[in-house]
Amino acid sequence: MGHVITDKKDIKFKLTDLPVMQKPNSVLMVRPTYFSVDYVINPHMEGNVGKVDKEKAMMEWEKVKSAFELAGVDVHVIDGEEGLPDMVFCANQSLPYYSEEGGKEVLMSIMNSKHRKDEVQHVERWYMENGYEIHHLNYKKIDNFEGMGDAIWHSGRKLLWGGYGFRSSLDAYDFVSDKWDVPVIALELNDPAFYHLDTCFCMLNQDSVLIYPKAFTQNGVDIIKSLFKNVIEADEYEAKELFACNATCPNGKHVIIQRGAEKVNQQLKDAGFEVIEVDTSQFLLSGGSVFCMKMMVW
């Protein structure tokens, strides 16, 4: 049986006690043909309806894709769907999992907003075609769960970090924890500008994380600091305006990040990471950046 931890005093393990999880070696991306800001479901989208420059968005997306390739990651691409402008943020529709015994599995999301619910079935099709065992949450019992927007695997270990409060409910983590027999550390999010865990928490490697501390409760910050040796902190400007914590480190070495987060970049370099800067200006209009634009898959 797994369990969901919400308090620091309930952490009774060391990271090295936890089973190893094979790291994913590729990403899935959704082509932004139909990407736009058509509605407002997070504070970053306010005032941006109709403002996306589609050609620019496509160019930026191509460069993000190239950045993954540069980092040695295989990229799978599926087409977006007309009428689903946020489908490009494919961190959100699912949470994949891998085990030596069971192979590839995935839990599909229950999107919080009605505007995004139909995205899930299109992403699910890719998993079906790629040999995943597919699980669904009971939507009668669980209101919402937005996949890897909120649920982030610890690098190389069977431990899940789960954000809740805006887009995912705490109950979803009971299901995940039981299903895959993994502990889940549930972190309450308390600032609507940081509505997903991936907006304020970036897993860098087994010992290192980049966070925006004010998006968490003090208890949450204490838990994070108790399990990671290196905690890099972003300031408000870089976290909120540049989505610095929505960076991604696909291989433990390269960090792909929105351009301009100078203070974070310096700290990353000092810690031995290689920074790859990209421009995601059009996606920032929708409240998303690099991490949200891909799903790590096995």
Question: Measuring CA to CA, which residue among 112, 131, 109, 129 is closest to residue 120?
Answer: 109
149 binds ligand ARG (CB under 6 A): yes
Helix (H, G, I), strand (E, B) or coil at 197: helix
Maximum CA extent, the chain: 51
> Tokens representing 26?
């590729």
Q: Shortest Cβ distance from residue 42 to ligand ARG (Å)?
A: 4
Helix (H, G, I), strand (E, B) or coil at 33: helix
User: Which secondary structure element, helix H or strand E, spans residue 176, and what is its range?
Assistant: helix 170-180
Q: Shortest Cβ distance from residue 78 to ligand ARG (Å)?
A: 17
**Quick one: which segment of 2-10, 41-49, 205-213, 265-273 binds ligand ARG (CB under 6 A)?**
41-49
Q: Shortest Cβ distance from residue 298 to ligand ARG (Å)?
A: 19
Q: Which residues form the catalytic set?
A: 196, 292
User: Which secondary structure element, helix H or strand E, spans residue 101, and what is its range?
Assistant: none
Determine the Cα–Cα distance for residues 116 and 6; give it in Å rounded to an integer.
28
Question: In which residue are the tokens 């997306």 written?
Answer: 61
Question: In which residue are the tokens 């009605």 written?
Answer: 114
41 binds ligand ARG (CB under 6 A): yes
* Shorter beta-carbon distance to ligand ARG: residue 112 or 265: 112
Q: Shortest Cβ distance from residue 291 to ligand ARG (Å)?
A: 6
Residues 92-111 close enough to bind ligand ARG by CB under 6 A: 92
Give the total of residues touching ligand ARG (CB under 6 A): 15
* Shorter beta-carbon distance to ligand ARG: residue 45 or 202: 45
Q: Shortest Cβ distance from residue 103 to ligand ARG (Å)?
A: 26
Determine the Cα–Cα distance for residues 194 and 214; give it in Å rounded to an integer.
9
* Shorter beta-carbon distance to ligand ARG: residue 205 or 246: 246
Question: Measuring CA to CA, which residue among 195, 211, 165 is closest to residue 45?
Answer: 195
Residues 154-183 close enough to bind ligand ARG by CB under 6 A: none
Of these, 287, 290, 295, 298, which contacts ligand ARG (CB under 6 A)? 287
Residues 185-204 close enough to bind ligand ARG by CB under 6 A: 196, 198-199
Q: Distance from CA of residue 271 to its chain's centroid?
A: 22
Q: Distance from CA of residue 256 to its chain's centroid?
A: 13
Q: Shortest Cβ distance from residue 45 to ligand ARG (Å)?
A: 6
36 binds ligand ARG (CB under 6 A): no
Of these, 124, 286, 294, 298, which contacts ligand ARG (CB under 6 A)? 286
Of these, 28, 67, 71, 91, which contacts ligand ARG (CB under 6 A)? 91
Strand ranges for the chain from DSSP E: 3-5, 26-30, 74-78, 94-99, 103-108, 133-136, 151-153, 160-164, 183-188, 201-205, 208-211, 230-233, 254-258, 274-278, 295-297
Tell me if 24 sits within 8 A of 75, measured CB to CB: no
Footprint of ligand ARG (CB under 6 A)? 41-42, 45, 86, 89, 91-92, 149, 196, 198-199, 286-288, 292
